[in-house]
Amino acid sequence: MANLVLIGFMGSGKTTIGFRLARALRRRFVDTDSEIEKLTGLTVTQIFIKHDERRFRSEEELMVQKVAVLPDVVIATGGGVVLNPNNIAVLRQTGVVVWLKADSELIAQRITSSRNRPLLRPKPTEQKIREMLAVRECLYSSAADVVIDTQGKNHEQIVNEILNKTGEIL
């Protein structure tokens, strides 16, 4: 059975939806950011501050390699996982990649008070989100086997749509 891999911008719901999907499929859920935090003993923000983004990206690449070989798991990734083409190649070898698509307005609403997103410090603004999305959208799009438009949908609808669209390939 293939893994189910969620990609998408910060605040697109990867962790929440991934957790629910795993429960529905009776599979283990892994979140690469949380696994990196467990392994390093530092939060993602601390890694960016104490070290730098490069260090985080190298921890992320190693973690992607580890989780991609786990059997039958649901994987939530960090929003920047697509920046490294190796990550996508590795994840696609064992998994179906699902992009949770959301626009900058919705993302801004969801993460206005978020403090654990170092790339959006000191404060997430819609302008900053729009700029980052402009760079990343084509990466999400080309990495994805399945695209889910999350606009105007609740968690249950999103989970059901993913299950319907991936049912035959999983």
Site for ligand S3P, rule CB under 6 A? 10, 14, 33, 44, 78-80, 117-119
Name the residue nearer to ligand S3P (CB basis): 8 or 95. 8
Distances (CA, A) of 158 to 21, 45, 102, 114, 155: 9, 28, 12, 22, 5
User: Least distance in Å: CB of 79 to ligand S3P?
Assistant: 3
Q: Which residue is nearest to ligand S3P (CB)?
A: 78
Q: Which residues are within 8 A (CB) of 91 and not within 5 positions of it... i.e. 6 or more apart?
A: 3, 5, 64, 68, 75, 77, 81, 97
| Residue 17: CB minimum distance to ligand S3P, A | 11
User: How many angstroms separate the CA atoms of 45 and 116, rounded?
Assistant: 6
Minimal distance, residue 115 CB to ligand S3P, in Å: 11
Residue 167 CB, nearest approach to ligand S3P (Å): 26
How far apart are CB 78 and ligand S3P at their closest, in Å?
2
**Which CB atom, from 51 or from 117, has the smaller least distance to ligand S3P?**
117
165 C-beta neighbours (distance < 10 Å), count:
16
Q: For residue 71, count CB atoms less than 10 angstroms from its CB and return exposed for 0-12, middle for 13-18, buried for 19 or more.
A: exposed
Nearer Cβ to ligand S3P (132/159)? 132
Residue (71 or 122) nearer to ligand S3P, CB:
122
Instruction: Using the minimum distance from each CB to ligand S3P, give the nearer residue, 47 or 162.
Output: 47
